[in-house]
Amino acid sequence: MTSPVVDTIGLLDPATRDGLNLLARDLRRTHMGMQLQVLIVASTGGEPIEAYAQRAFAEQRLGSRLFDNGVLMVIAKDDRRVRIHTGAGIDGRVTDAVAQRVIDEHMLPKFREGEFGRGIEDGAKAVSEVMRGGRLPEPSSGEVLAFSELSWPMKIFVLVLLPVMLVGPFVPALIRWRRGGRLVEDRDTTSTRWSNNGGDSDGGGASGKW
């Protein structure tokens, strides 16, 4: 696999695909070579998705050789199956139970509505957050409260404080980007640069069907 997102059926729009690629590359760069791989196929060809994911993980050896800290997400659209497959060194964070919750709460509800890009994006973000050591976020409901319904303190928070909180942490990264610091990472599409060629999986993870 030559990039963090391999979409063999063109399921994702370019913006979603690019966002997921950046998410995975940032995770790898900042967290000891952790590797989050998304693989989208039409079908596993009759092979159980668990076996398919294990074989793909073994072939690509996701994660670092030292920490075995890779996670593979497989979506087989025509089979209506999804799998989160974890490396042997990351399943202490992304436990089987956590992987199942990501599938059940973040991915399947959106898949059932035909929102595959959003489901994959939400699932990948949730897994990435847990891989980084954070807590599993709540699933997005898609419900938006009208601004006019907010109290005045909340309006001030939304208009003034929230933008500062959101933008502030990214200022150093934006400065580095302006200086060219991210160009090599973003242009890296070779398999030797993306693959760590070392991670193993003991078959942990979870599966789901919609």
> Domain ranges in the chain?
5-141+203-209
What per-residue confidence (pLDDT) applies to 13?
96
Q: How far is Cα 39 from Cα 47, in angstroms, rounded to an integer?
A: 15
Using an 8 Å Cβ cutoff, are 74 and 56 in contact? yes
- State yes or no: pLDDT of 195 exceeds 70: no
- State yes or no: pLDDT of 75 exceeds 60: yes
Using an 8 Å Cβ cutoff, are 71 and 84 in contact? yes
Q: How far is Cα 133 from Cα 97, in angstroms, rounded to an integer?
A: 16
Q: How far is Cα 113 from Cα 206, in angstroms, rounded to an integer?
A: 21
Average pLDDT, the chain: 81
How many Å from the N-terminal Cα to the C-terminal Cα in the chain? 26
Sheet with 81-86: list strands edge to edge. Answer: 5-7, 35-41, 70-76, 81-86, 204-209
What per-residue confidence (pLDDT) applies to 178?
47
pLDDT single digits (tens) 84-121 = 999 888 888 999 999 999 999 999 999 999 999 999 99
**Helices (H), strands (E): how many in the chain?**
10, 5
CATH 3.40.50.150 fits 5-141+203-209, yes or no: no
Q: Residue range 154-164: average pLDDT?
A: 61
Q: How far is Cα 34 from Cα 93, in angstroms, rounded to an integer?
A: 12
Q: How far is Cα 102 from Cα 108, in angstroms, rounded to an integer?
A: 9
Confidence of residue 67 (pLDDT cuts 50, 70, 90): confident
- State yes or no: pLDDT of 185 exceeds 50: no
Q: Residue range 129-149: average pLDDT?
A: 71
Q: Residue range 181-209: average pLDDT?
A: 57
Q: Considering the chain, what percentage of its residues have pLDDT values greater than 70?
A: 69
Neighbours of 88 (CB within 10 A): 17
From 61-75, 96-110, 129-143, 173-187, the region with the lowest mean pLDDT: 173-187
